[in-house]
Amino acid sequence: MADKNALRIVLFGPPGAGKGTQAVLISKSLSISHISTGDIMRDEIKSGSKLGLAISDVLNRGELVSDFQVLELVNSRLSRADCANGFLLDGFPRTLVQAEAFVKMPPQNLKTAVVELSVPEAELLERIRQRGISGLRPDDDQRVAAKRLNVYWEQTAPVASYFKERGEFYEIDGIGTVEQVHQRVMEVLLAL
């Protein structure tokens, strides 16, 4: 049985908001699994699987993988034993279709908290530019970064309203040091 305060956390926000960094810290603080759909996709591509081959171009263009393909991967990941007592999703749900599927997915006995890292657009563009320079992420060149941000505003931002209406949405100021932002997130999560 999951303990009654167990959470399924969605870390939400545009590319460059710091989701990956915060996800690592939160999952450590709460001892829950960190599930990054971007990492799952990149692992799939590295493995050379059929799905990996099919989605490689999509990632390189900065577009979204189809809901059907994403939901297959997420369903299978969330059915693993480590998710029974809570987990943190980073990069999912990214469309309304994914959000609607997510709220129906097991395990259902967990409280949902969607935490948005809120960062102004100018700051995001600068952060993405810096990441591109460091060469850590091949899809983070300027053109693809701009595309990813557009895709976010068009397809992912509406997901916020969906969870606001459900009373499961928490907005956090994403400006500050990594530690400051982490503290803000933890204050919200520990009060739930």
Q: Which is nearer to ligand AMP, 2 or 66 (CB)?
A: 66
Q: How far is the CB of 191 from ligand AMP (least distance, A)?
A: 27
Considering beta carbons, is residue 128 or 181 the nearer one to ligand AMP? Answer: 128
| Phi and psi angles of residue 85, each rounded to the nearest 5 degrees, phi first | -105, 25
- Within 58-87, the residues that bind ligand AMP by CB under 6 A are 58-59, 62-65, 70
Active site annotation includes 164? no
Report in angstroms how near the CB of residue 156 gets to ligand AMP at its nearest: 8
Q: How far apart are CA 64 and CA 95, in angstroms?
A: 9
Active site residue 42: no
Question: 28: helix, coil or strand?
Answer: helix
Q: Count CB atoms within 10 A of the CB of residue 177.
A: 8
Amino acid code (one letter) for 69: Q
* Contact present, 115 and 188 (Cβ < 8 Å): yes
The H or E element containing residue 143 is: helix 142-151
Q: How many residues bind ligand AMP (CB under 6 A)?
A: 16
Q: Cβ 70 to ligand AMP, closest distance in Å?
A: 4
Closest among 16, 21, 18, 12 to 125, alpha carbons compared: 16
Choosing from 12, 87, 92, 170, the residue that interacts with ligand AMP (CB under 6 A) is 92
Q: Note the residues at the interface with ligand AMP (CB under 6 A).
A: 15, 37-38, 41, 58-59, 62-65, 70, 91-92, 94, 98, 148
**Residues with catalytic roles:** 19, 94, 131, 137, 148
